[in-house]
Each structure stands twice: as structure tokens, then as C-alpha cells.
Amino acid sequence: MIKHDYKPQKHKEFMRKPLFNRLPGWITHPYLIIGMALSSLTLAIILSSPDPKPEPADIVDTINKEAAENALTYGTPISIPLELKSDIPPSSQPVLANTSTKTWQTEAVKKGDNLSKIFKRIGLSPQQVHAVITLDDNTALLKHLKPGEIISYQTDKDNNLIKLKYTIDIQRTLLISSNNNELSSQIENKVIEYRTAYAQGTIEDSLFAAGKNAKLTDTQVMQLANIFDWDIDFILDIRKGDSFSMLYLEKFLEGEKIGNGEILAAEFINQGKSFKAVQYTDINNKTSYYTPDGLSMRKAFLRAPLKFSYISSNFKPKRFHPILKRWKAHRGIDYRARTGTPIRAAGAGKVIASSYTRYNGKYVFLQHGQGIVTKYLHMSRRAVGRNKRVTQGQVIGYVGSTGLAEAPHLHYEFVVNGVHRNPRTVKLPQAKPVAKTEKDRFTTKTAPLLSQLASRNAVKSKQYTAP
């Protein structure tokens, strides 16, 4: 943006100073200065004509005098640079009503812009661009401006940058200031405030739909399911009437909600059985979910070898039986899912087979601790080779219909010491508890959350049963 309040005498002084050389030539050109004064005048008239307030008239007077003086001083014809005029929308004219330059002005980043173009537009020199960009890591952020972002700035009467303000994101603002020609930068951090929120839902159609009714995002629904991933098979075991409740964090910035935080405590009632979990950060600063008794929610085996988020959109609870009930006949569980759905290792282990037969199709067998083997059949594609180590949850292949399979599905087997067991009912190895030495600390930290969840649940059920 252009300065409109130069005194003509100042210009002359100014031009004699070497300092002025720092400004691009077009700014110092007398025609242009006259042009600027005149364009301001035009704007001022446009702005002030429907407005009877006295101040704009004063400004018009001042500018008039200035323009007259300019015309006298230079005695030259006047041209108004059109491109400059178009760069100055009347709505963003803070300068006209203010003789001090130390007010914030703003410039929007346009498509194809960079700091050089913007500085040129607002009348700052290439040297100032360089000084700002190369100052430090903070100001290097200005190399990545995006259209629509706003640069706020202050300049002195000699068109030197005094302050620059740039919003990096909702939380951080970059501030650049110049003191005695010495530039410095800082990043101002706004503090995010966390508040505890409560949500409760009952499943009618699907877990995602219930989450939506409870005003939760899909991400939060997945976070909730992840907590209970070792206890509940979210693909096969979810039923209409199952319910959940949870305490979670909401993030606020200056009073406005900007997002959600983690789940602090949750309860899931699956087919009448209650599962509770509470978040706890141990003395080693490791955060995890535990039962109210202090047992880790994480266990050696996930309940289901497929992630429910890939499945539940395909299967509505009305037809809640993706399982083909042939457990006794073929000693495995079938999960119907689309071809390509990722299959995850139920537990950490080693790949003891990754191959193909006419009956199994493409298959992977995993060896785990305590004599447990898990088997995954009919894959469209295998993702691990023999003898490879896998972590729990790692993708080992993709659902398909290779081998003896009528439709795409995962055939999953759980074998303990050579005996096929039903993975949904087999007793799994005990979960790791909170260290004995910090059990008291665990109780002190988690009891308030659990009691808060319980009392919110009690209020909620009272509302439901109230006549």
C-alpha cells in the first residue's frame, strides 16, 4: 500500500538522503508521488461524498493543499497510475483518516504471490524483503504464503518496516519488529484451553450412526472402538441396543471450539456386558487405557483381524450376520468384507507360512507366544513373507476370494497348542497391569474421571426413565 501523507517538503529532503535509494525507483518518481496524492484525493472524495462527517472533508482539504503544492513544486502534468489505484480497495483505506503511519495495515496474499511481490505492492524495498526473509527460522515461514492469508504491517514515514504480523495457524502468530533498524522476530502462542465433554449413544443402525447422533465425529467413534479393540469384536458382536458413553476433551481457543481432544474415560455395553476404560499417564509419561482395576486394555490379541471401520459401512445391524455360521464344520470364523479390505495381525508374532494352495487360496499363518497360531485364508494379496516378524495390528494381507471361496471373505482360525479354538470366546493371555508401585497414583488420578462418567451416565438414564 502507498503512503498518502507525505509532506512535499519531506519528499525533497528525503530524496537527497542516501536512505531513499533503498526504495524502488518507481516510488520516488515525482509523477507518481503526485499521482498518489491525486489518487488519494479521488478516493477520499469518493469515500467522503455520501458522508457528511467533518473529518473526511478535512482530509480532502489537506490532500488538496498537498496536491496543489506538489503541482506547484514540480509544475508537471499529472498522471494517475491505474494499477496502483486498483490495488487499493476503498474498504481497506485506513490511511486516509489517519496522519500517523503507526497503525496496522493489511495486505491479502494473492494467487502467485510471494513476499517480494507483496512488499513491492506495499511500497517496501527488495532489501527489506531480503532482511526479513533471511532473519531467522521464524521469518523463513514467510516463504510459504498461501492465497487468502493476511499480512499486517506498520511502516514509518520513511516507508521502513516497523512491524509485521502474520498468522501462521489458529494458535501461532509471527511478529517481526524493527528497533533502530534492528529486526527481530518472535512467535506468539495462544493457549489452547481444554474442557471436558460428555457423550452418550445407543446403537440403532450402526456404531457410526449412533456416534453421529451423540454429536461425535467419525474419528472419535474410531478412537472409541480402538480403546475396546481387544475386548469387543466390532464387526461380529455389535448388536442393536448396545450403548456407549464417554468423557472426552474439547479444545478451545479464545472461547471458540477448535477441535476435539482425547477420550478420558469410556464405557461400552456390548450385549449386556459392560466394558470400562480410563486413560492414565504413568510415571514414565506413557499414556494408555486401563480398566478401572488397572489392567491394560491392550492384550496379546485383538478380537477381530479386520478393522470395523472398513466393514460397518457395508453391513447394517439389521443384517448383522456377516459370519457364515459354520464354526463347527470348518473350525474358523468367516468375516465377509470387500476384496482389498486390509487384514491385520491379531497379535505380534512371526510369519510361519505365506503361500498358496487350491483350498486356502493365498494364506498367511502367524506363530505367537504361548503355543498360539493364527491363520488367515483366501487373501487377494499377501503383504508379508515367511519368517518375517509382525507387530500387532500390522497389515499382513488383503481380503479376497482365492481358493475355495464363493465370495470375498476372510477365513480366520485361532489354534492353541494344535487345537482349534473359537477366537471370540477363547480365554486370552492376561493383560499387563499398572505397576504395583504406582497403583495408588493410578487410583488417585483415574477415580475422579470414572466417577464423573458414572454420575453423568446416571443423570442420562434418569432422563430416559423419567415419566
Q: Is the dihedral of CA 436, 266, 225, 319 positive or negative?
A: positive
Q: Are 119 and 128 in contact (CB under 8 A)?
A: yes
Q: Tell me if 413 contacts Zn ion by CB under 5 A.
A: no
Q: Please give the DSSP secondary-structure letter assigned to residue 397.
A: E
The contact pattern for Zn ion, residues 28-67, with x = CB under 5 A and - = no contact, is ----------------------------------------
Report the residue closest to Zn ion, judged by CB: 411
Stretch that binds Zn ion, among 25-33, 157-165, 207-215, 329-337 (CB under 5 A): 329-337
Alpha-carbon dihedral 238, 244, 246, 251, rounded to 10 degrees: 70
Q: How far is the CB of 113 from Zn ion (least distance, A)?
A: 60
By CB under 5 A, which span of 20-28, 82-90, 162-170, 408-416 interacts with Zn ion?
A: 408-416
The residues facing 281 across adjacent strands are 287
Q: CB of residue 322 vs Zn ion: minimum separation in angstroms?
A: 12
Closer to Zn ion by CB, 6 or 335: give it.
335
Which residue of 107, 229, 334, 413 would you call a contact of Zn ion, by CB under 5 A?
Answer: 334
Map the footprint of Zn ion across residues 203-222, applying CB under 5 A: none
Cβ at position 315, least distance to Zn ion in Å: 17
Measured from the CB atom, is 59 or 337 closer to Zn ion? 337
How many C-beta atoms surround the C-beta of residue 97 within 10 A? 15
Q: Between 242 and 334, name the residue whose CB sits nearer to Zn ion.
A: 334
398 three-class SS: strand
Span near Zn ion by CB under 5 A; candidates 113-121, 275-283, 306-314, 328-336? 328-336
- Which of these ranges, 210-218, 262-270, 411-419, 424-432, lies near Zn ion under the rule CB under 5 A? 411-419
> In degrees, to the nearest 5, what angle opens at C-alpha 390 toward C-alphas 389 and 396?
120
Q: How far is Cα 458 from Cα 467, in angstroms, rounded to an integer? A: 16
- Closest distance of CB 382 from Zn ion, Å: 17
Cβ 334 to Zn ion shortest distance, Å: 4
Q: Are 171 and 186 in contact (CB under 8 A)?
A: no
Q: Report the residue from 211, 294, 332, 400 that binds Zn ion according to the rule CB under 5 A.
A: 332
Please, which residue, 146 or 328, has the CB nearer to Zn ion? 328
Within the chain, how many helices (H) and strands (E) appear?
12, 19
Nearer to Zn ion, 56 or 305 (CB): 305
Report the 10 Å Cβ neighbour count for 101: 18
In 307-394 the beta strands, taken as DSSP E runs, fall at 333-336, 342-344, 349-357, 361-367, 372-382, 389-390
What's the closest the beta carbon of residue 326 comes to Zn ion, in angstroms?
7
Q: How many residues bind Zn ion (CB under 5 A)?
A: 3
Residue range at the interface with Zn ion (CB under 5 A); choices 93-101, 325-333, 359-367, 394-402: 325-333
Sign for the CA dihedral angle at 178, 183, 184, 187 comes to: positive
Q: Which is nearer to Zn ion, 247 or 333 (CB)?
A: 333
Q: Nearer to Zn ion by C-beta: 375 or 411?
A: 411
Nearest-angstrom CA–CA distance, 409 and 361: 11
Our CB check for Zn ion shows the closer of 5 and 334 to be 334
* Least distance CB 404 / Zn ion (angstroms): 9
Question: 237-253 burial string, b = 16+ CB within 10 Å, else e?
Answer: bbeeebbbbbbbbebee
Q: What are the angstrom distances between the C-alpha of 133 and each of 27, 143, 171, 317?
A: 22, 7, 22, 58
Select 31 or 327, whichever has its Cβ closest to Zn ion. Answer: 327
Residue 347 binds Zn ion (CB under 5 A): no
**Least distance CB 361 / Zn ion (angstroms):** 11
Closest approach, Cβ 453 to Zn ion, in A, equals 39
Name the one range near Zn ion by CB under 5 A: 139-147, 158-166, 332-340, 454-462: 332-340
> For residue 164, is it left (φ>0), alpha (ψ between -120 and 50) or beta?
beta
- Contact flag: residue 411 with Zn ion (CB under 5 A): yes
Burial of 132 (C-beta count, 10 Å sphere; 0-12/13-18/19+): buried
- Which of residues 382 and 411 has its CB atom nearest to Zn ion in the complex? 411
**DSSP class of 182:** E
C-alpha separations of 17 from 3, 4, 34, 110 in Å:
18, 20, 20, 33
Residues that bind Zn ion (CB under 5 A): 332, 334, 411
